Amino acid sequence: MKVKKYKAENMQQAMQLVRLELGDDAVILNSKAVKTSRFFGLLSKKGVEVIAAVDEDLSDQTLKTKNIPIQPEGISDSKQKISTPAASRLEQDKLFDSIQEMKKMMKSLTQEKQRDPSLPDFFFHLEEKLLKSEISTLHVEEIMEIIYEKWLENKTMTDKSLLKLLETEVLQSLEEVSFVQDSYEKKFICLVGPTGVGKTTTLAKLAADASLKKGKSIGFITTDTYRIAAIEQLKTYASILDAPIEVCYSAEDFLAAKNKLSHLDVVFIDTAGRNFLNERFVEELKEVLDFKEEMTTFLVLSLTSKMSDMKKITDQFWNVGIHQFIFTKKDETTSIGSMYEISRTYQKGAAFVTDGQNVPEDLIPFTKELMVRTIMEEIGE
């Protein structure tokens, strides 16, 4: 049985974290209201703590019959009734015993630790820098907790050693996040995202990179018929790169354009920038584009955007089938931890980051190692 503790601002957010990591078959062992705080307890606010588990030994059918109700915030770890109408008595007893055993184990793990008074001031500096970079309090606490435990084993660590340990733990936290190995592996490359994030310019950068650096034959398709300037801008890039371009107004136009450009190595698809906080616009986009075809879809997000808006946009596009993120406007902000936060939350890495308007120079192919290095450069300033 795999057991893990989650802290979140509310139960809905906690359940999202549980489902992302443990899946829909996870059961709730305990939930209670807590005060979430920064690692050193300088600031605090109300939140919820959930302990969840998934039993990988039980059959899928048995797991689907489990129904452990979630207690409202404020309820401590009293017994929760397990309803398993289709499960045998033996299976019920096995599950109940496993949960009781895990509860006993987790009770000791959730005890508040007494912080060592000799904790160096450099910890304060690291935590503050991480939080200022827009990494969530939850993720900062997880990372700093690990560093604290390792510091307890060796209290003679220097500030440089702690900084190196932080780099190692940030990299480790991205271990399960997928990063693209070959961005041009599929024939069709589609960029989606809200207005103002620089999709058309980024598309031109990708096309120039594929054509001039990778030697691939390229073409363009645009469905951005809402802005005449966007069509003319892309036509200019297509002319410079000596690449064909097709303008599509409907699903039929898109299908015809794909067939017409099928002989090329890579076809880059530009989409309209709309207020995708409105779910209707995402549905309209799905009516024109067939995202199930041989297509890599990048969600383009600006690093100058608010974190809450970035997460809302990602949620809206999630069912489309996002493969990776592209983060733009790195040169226009001093806080870049949001790309780590988004990548870790949704378990999708950054394929590229842009840091200027020059085509194709200001396009950086990204890896998890480069993401960590970029964050550490900001922390170390």
DSSP string, 67-79: --PPPPTT--S--
pTM: 0.68
Tally of CB atoms within 10 A around 361: 13
Domain boundaries, the chain: 2-109, 122-173, 188-379
307 torsion bin: left (phi>0), alpha (psi -120 to 50), beta (else)? alpha
- What is the third-level CATH fold of 188-379? Rossmann fold (3.40.50)
Would you tell me how many other CB atoms lie within 10 Å of the CB of residue 280? 10
d(CA 76, CA 56): 26
CA 75 vs CA 33, 49, 80, 186: distances in Å? 7, 11, 11, 50
231 burial level (CB within 10 Å; 0-12, 13-18, 19+): middle
Dist. CA 69–CA 29, nearest whole Å: 10
pLDDT, one tens digit for every residue, the chain (381 residues): 777 888 887 777 887 888 888 887 777 777 777 665 554 444 456 677 888 887 665 434 444 444 434 444 443 443 344 344 444 545 555 555 555 555 544 444 443 444 566 778 888 888 888 888 888 888 998 898 898 888 888 888 888 998 999 999 999 999 989 887 777 888 899 999 888 888 889 999 999 999 998 899 999 999 887 766 778 888 999 999 999 999 988 888 988 999 999 999 999 999 877 766 667 777 777 777 766 667 889 999 999 998 888 998 898 888 788 889 999 999 888 878 899 999 999 999 999 999 887 777 789 999 999 999 999 988 876
To the nearest 5 percent, what fractions of the chain are helix, strand and coil? 45, 20, 35
Query: CA-CA distance, 74 to 80, in Å (whole number)?
Result: 14
Round to whole Å and give the CA distance between 17 and 166. Answer: 23
| Token pair 């990063």 in the structure block, residue | 179
